[in-house]
């Protein structure tokens, strides 16, 4: 989810959630139960909401939270399986292209002009087809990934706001990939202030989606957007994430 559009969508969704929550609960001094966790969802310990103006800071990797949730993993796996035939097709095409390039490199000086020219044209045509296929796959993966993120965030956003309010946070900063320094304000953070994992656990309880089964990862699977997570990525990392970069050639 590297595109700026994705970042704006996340920001607007969370702000909208906070606005709705504030309108529905105008009394900031009222105590709310803490967001449930996977370990103790049935009887959460009461948490006293601090007075307005709290300076307690927290961070969350929203991208990681979405795709580390059981729902995100499940839907990401479905997209990866859907796109796998196209990935396999592109991998085969890439291997054929490399074979032709090697043939030109090792035998080109022994070919006559017509044969060499014909081989060069084949390489150029296959290269164009491969590049277009890679772009199409990347766009499709990005579209599917963004659809998953938007759907989950509509439900996760209010939970994040409630968790932050219940636990006395005055500010929550998104530490997803594009917000890392120097592209964002976060130069360093103490892992203890990260709420990604408890939010994922609370969302899993709320959604009721069971953990997806483990799936084997094809060696030729392209890397998903945001694969390189910040150091605060929760331990429940997604098994498979929709691919969004070009297959290896």
Would you say 201 and 37 are in contact if contact means Cβ atoms under 8 Å apart? yes
Structure confidence by residue, pLDDT tens digits, 58-67: 999 999 999 9
- Give the pLDDT band of residue 215 (cuts 50, 70, 90): low
Looking at residue 217, its pLDDT comes to 52
Is residue 134 a part of any domain in this protein?
A: yes
Looking at residue 187, its pLDDT comes to 84
pTM of the entire predicted model: 0.65
Structure confidence by residue, pLDDT tens digits, 156-165: 999 999 999 9
Query: Which residues does residue 174 pair with via DSSP β-bridges, in sequence order?
Result: 60
Is residue 225 a part of any domain in this protein?
A: no
When comparing pLDDT for 141 and 17, which is higher?
141
Looking at residue 54, its pLDDT comes to 72
Is residue 231 a part of any domain in this protein?
A: no
Is residue 144 a part of any domain in this protein?
A: yes
Is residue 245 a part of any domain in this protein?
A: no
For residue 105, pLDDT over 80 is answered with: yes
Structure confidence by residue, pLDDT tens digits, 20-36: 444 444 444 333 334 33
Is residue 219 a part of any domain in this protein?
A: no
Looking at residue 216, its pLDDT comes to 60
Q: How many domains does the chain have?
A: 1
Q: What would the mean pLDDT of 182-197 be, rounded to a whole number? A: 87
Would you say 74 and 128 are in contact if contact means Cβ atoms under 8 Å apart? no
Is residue 168 a part of any domain in this protein?
A: yes
- Give the pLDDT band of residue 177 (cuts 50, 70, 90): confident
d(CA 81, CA 180): 30
Q: What is the domain extent for residue 9?
A: 4-207
Three-state secondary structure call for residue 243: strand
Phi, psi of 141 (to 5 degrees): -65, -40
- Give the pLDDT band of residue 189 (cuts 50, 70, 90): confident
Check the CA dihedral 213-10-3-148 and report its sign: positive
Looking at residue 97, its pLDDT comes to 96
Is residue 68 a part of any domain in this protein?
A: yes
């Amino acid at each position: 989810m590297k595109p700026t559009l994705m970042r704006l969508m996340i920001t607007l969704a969370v702000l909208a959630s906070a606005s709705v929550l504030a309108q529905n609960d105008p009394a900031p001094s009222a105590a709310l139960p803490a967001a449930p966790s996977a370990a103790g969802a049935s009887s959460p310990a009461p948490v006293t909401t601090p007075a307005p103006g709290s300076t307690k800071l927290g961070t969350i990797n929203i991208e990681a939270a979405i795709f580390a949730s059981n729902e995100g993993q499940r839907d990401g796996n479905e997209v990866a399986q859907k796109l796998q035939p196209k990935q396999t097709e592109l991998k085969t095409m890439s291997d054929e292209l490399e074979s032709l390039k090697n043939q030109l490199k090792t035998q080109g000086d022994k070919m006559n002009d017509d044969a060499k020219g014909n081989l060069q044209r084949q390489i150029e045509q296959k290269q164009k087809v491969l590049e277009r296929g890679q772009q199409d796959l990347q766009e499709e993966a990005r579209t599917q990934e963004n659809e998953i993120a938007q759907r989950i965030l509509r439900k996760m956003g209010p939970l994040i706001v409630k968790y932050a309010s219940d636990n006395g946070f005055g500010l929550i900063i998104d530490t997803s990939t594009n917000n890392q320094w120097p592209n964002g304000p976060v130069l360093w953070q103490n892992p203890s202030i990260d709420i990604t994992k408890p939010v994922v656990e609370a969302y899993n309880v709320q959604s009721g989606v069971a953990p997806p089964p483990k799936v084997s990862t094809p060696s030729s699977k392209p890397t998903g957007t945001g694969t390189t997570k910040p150091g605060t990525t929760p331990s429940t990392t997604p098994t498979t994430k929709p691919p969004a970069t070009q297959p290896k050639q």
